[in-house]
Structure formats: C-alpha cells, structure tokens
Amino acid sequence: MAGQTYEFDLMQMSAIREMANIGLGHATTALANVTGKSFNMDIPNVETVCLEEVPMMMGDPSDVCVGISMPIEGDVEGYTAFLFPWKSAQELWGMLLGYSPESPEDVDDLPASAMLEVGNILSASFMNALSDMTGLKIHATPPMVSIDLAYTIAASIVAEAELSDAVALAIETRLFGMENQQTTGYFLCVPTLEGLNKLFAALGIQGAA
Amino acid sequence: MAEIKVIKGTGQLTCLGLGSCIGLLAYDAESGVCGMAHIMLPEAFKDKPVDKPGKFADTGVPALLAEIEKAGGNIRRLTWVFTGGAQVFKYGAGTASKLDVGARNGEAVNAHLKKLGARILAQDIGGTSGRTMVANIETGEVRVRTVQGGEKTLCQLKRVRAEAA
C-alpha cells in the first residue's frame, strides 16, 4: 500500500535473503562468464522501507549511473534493477567492448546495447534461479537502460512499481569486482506482496498479511 | 520525493533528479513566498489513505496552495513553473512503457493548473533526461540541470514582478 511498510517475521526475512542470495549468486556467476572477470557480492540487505525511501539507498543519489530496469512477469510480478555508478559502468564496458565512452554524452547504441545484454544475462540467471527454487513461473521482460542520476533512475522505477501496486519490500545489495573491488553495482528488487506470498507458499512458509 | 517545501524571501528550493516525477514550483512575488512539490504520480489511489499529499498531482496542487497560504502567500498572485515527467529509460525494447508515468504526470499537473486558471511562467517536461531544478529566491533564477545537457536557466521569477509593477 502507498507509503506503507510491511512487517515480516524472522522466517520470512531469512527466506527473502536466501532467495536473493541464491538468485544474485547465479547472476554474479553469469556476469563473470561474459566479462571473464571474477565478481563477488555483499550479503543482500533486505529492507521493508516505504518506496519513497528507496532512491536514497542506492549509493550516492547524485552519482551518475547506468541503470538497467527489468520488470518481472509470470507468477510473481514486480521490478528488478541494477545500477552501476559511471566509473563501474566504464569498467564493464572496457571488459565487454574493449573501450568505454568517456562521458555520459558519448553513450550511443553500441554501449547501450552492451548494457541491455548485461541486463538480459543478469536477470535471466536471477529469475531462473528463483524459478528452479520455487517451481513458479518467473521471467523477466526485456531490459531498459537509462544513464542518469542514481536518484532519478531509482525514483522512476519506484513510481512505476507503486502504480502497479508492486510494493512490498526492497532488496538491495552491492556487487563488486574481485580484482580491484572498483566495479560496484547495486541491485534492487521490488516484488508485489501477492508475488512475494506466492514465493513464500512455494517454500512452505506462511505468507505476510 | 513526495515532499512539499515552502520558503519565504530568502534561500533556495531544490528538486533533485526528477525522472518521471514533476517538480512543481509556485511563487508569489509580492510576499516572496515560494513553494515546491515533488510529485511522483498523477493521482491518489482511491482505495488507500493519502499519507503524503505532495506525492500525487491531484492532492499535491491543493496541498501546495494550502502551505503557501499558511506561509503568508496569496494564492491568487502565484506564477507557476514545472519540470520533469521524462521517460529516463531511453534504450531497450520496453521503453514505450504501458504505464508511461512521466507523460501522465505532466498531463495531470497541466490539467490541474488549467483548472485553477494558473499563470504558467515556464515548463520543461518530457524527453528522456532526468532534471534537477533549483530555484533561488534571492535572484529569482530557476535553473535546470541534466546529466547529458548541462545546466541552463529555465526562467526568471523576479522579472514577473518587475513587469507586474
């Protein structure tokens, strides 16, 4: 509900954290496979915040980022997104394309489609892991890419999520490159309460009210 | 997001990183009262209580008027400025979003101001760039900054006063 925060019990919170952990573990491995570099991730931070607070959680809100948004469809609906701060996005482009745009104005179709591909790979592996775990049909719709402030990107996703009633909790974590730890990315997942309860039911856990 | 701020005579108001959101600014030159709402969605949900009226265009406009009046502004003298309402996801197959929150926000704000017979001094809406709007009450300058297009002056609030006087 608009502006509402939900209460989850310990069991539910650890189930969410575990799902995020496994899903993102697969996504991180997939990213390592396409870039040829190792990545690691922090333990996902699961917060039941009201959605207006989300844009302040994704690193520095006034940082220029490349944001990849991927709405979820199927048995579970909602939104997922990855945000890569500009320097990290440049490192990713370097790994994928062998060069990187120097400034946000220089991003044209090729670097943009490289990021769309990163989104496809990350979301497909994340959703597949969740599907395998729960037996539910969960799939990502085609990703969209934005180059803007972290705040702007997150706020635009949150507004859509709220409009589609996809409001339950925010799962946020940080990915980073193993070699120099400089490549960081933030992950956001905003499922609907209904979708989240389907995930709980599939795992044999009581749903949230 | 969703907040309403009102200042009088001095200082500045900022709306950081407006993507699909709208930064709505109203200024009363005579009293120096200036208010800003950071609107997120076109209309409040019918079945849910409104916790922050500034969040929606339909509740945000009257709430902003009320705050301006409370601060000593005259709501019949206001000039209005608004920016935002972009679709910041420029690349990808799904960018023609069925929801298109940005465009709907822009239409909603426009419709509510029209209903008021409001004097709109400047607007800068739509497109694919997020905007940061800063209104400086001392100089009367309203500036808009985008990541890819830099910073520009959108309008001069004080010039309106000079012309009116």
Inform me whether the C-beta atom of residue A74 falls under 8 Å from chain B C-beta atoms: no
pLDDT greater than 50 at residue B103: yes
Across the interface, which of B48, B88, B99 has its CB nearest the CB of A153? B88
**A51: closest chain B residue by CA:** B1
Pick the closest to residue A160 from B122, B73, B40 (CA basis).
Answer: B40
The mean pLDDT value for A6-29 works out to 86
Q: How many Cβ contacts (< 8 angstroms) between chains A and B?
A: 123
How high is the mean pLDDT of chain A? 85
Most confident of A87-101, A148-162, B54-68: B54-68
Q: Which residues of B are catalytic?
A: 21
Inform me whether the C-beta atom of residue A104 falls under 8 Å from chain B C-beta atoms: yes
More confident position, A76 or A50: A76
Q: State how far the Cα of B18 lies from the Cα of A90, in Å rounded to an integer.
A: 24
Instruction: State the CATH class of domain B4-164.
Output: alpha beta
Q: A10-202 adopts what CATH topology?
A: Chemotaxis protein chec (3.40.1550)
Domain locations in chain A as residue ranges: 10-202
Q: Which residues contact A74 (CB under 8 A, 6 or more apart)?
A: A136, A137, A138, A139
Q: Which residues contact A96 (CB under 8 A, 6 or more apart)?
A: A34, A35, A114, A117, A118
Please judge whether A148 and B50 are an interchain contact, meaning their C-beta atoms are less than 8 angstroms apart. Answer: no
Per DSSP, the residues of chain A read: -TT------HHHHHHHHHHHHHHHHHHHHHHHHHHSS-EEEPPPEEE---GGGGGGTSS-TTSEEEEEEEEEEESS-EEEEEEEEHHHHHHHHHHHHS---SSGGG--HHHHHHHHHHHHHHHHHHHHHHHHHH---EEEPPPEEEEEEHHHHHHHHHHHHHHTT--S-EEEEEEEETTTS--EEEEEEEE-HHHHHHHHHHTT-PPP-
Residue A149 and residue A38 in contact, taking contact as beta carbons nearer than 8 Å: no
**What H or E segment, with its residue span, contains residue B128?**
none
Q: How confident is the model at residue A90 (pLDDT cuts 50, 70, 90)?
A: very high
Inform me whether the C-beta atom of residue B18 falls under 8 Å from chain A C-beta atoms: yes
Across the interface, which of A2, A150, A156 has its CB nearest the CB of B51? A2
Helix axes A150-163, B101-116, angle to 10 degrees: 80
Inform me whether the C-beta atom of residue A208 falls under 8 Å from chain B C-beta atoms: no
- Name chain A contacts of B90, Cβ cutoff 8 Å: 112, 145-147
Q: How confident is the model at residue B24 (pLDDT cuts 50, 70, 90)?
A: very high
- Which neighbouring-strand residues pair with B8? B33
The mean pLDDT value for A155-173 works out to 78
Which residues 110-129 of A have a C-beta within 8 angstroms of B? Answer: 112-113, 115-116, 119
Q: Rounded to an integer, what is the distance from CA A94 to the centroid of its chain?
A: 22
More confident position, B125 or A59: B125
Please judge whether B17 and A141 are an interchain contact, meaning their C-beta atoms are less than 8 angstroms apart. Answer: no
More confident position, B78 or A190: B78
The mean pLDDT value for B128-150 works out to 94
Model's pTM, two decimal places? 0.89
A48: tokens are: 């039941």
Please judge whether B51 and A3 are an interchain contact, meaning their C-beta atoms are less than 8 angstroms apart. Answer: yes
User: What percentage of chain A carries pLDDT values higher than 70?
Assistant: 91
Inform me whether the C-beta atom of residue A2 falls under 8 Å from chain B C-beta atoms: yes
**B98: closest chain A residue by CA:** A160
State ipTM.
Answer: 0.88
pLDDT computed for residue B165 by the predictor? 45
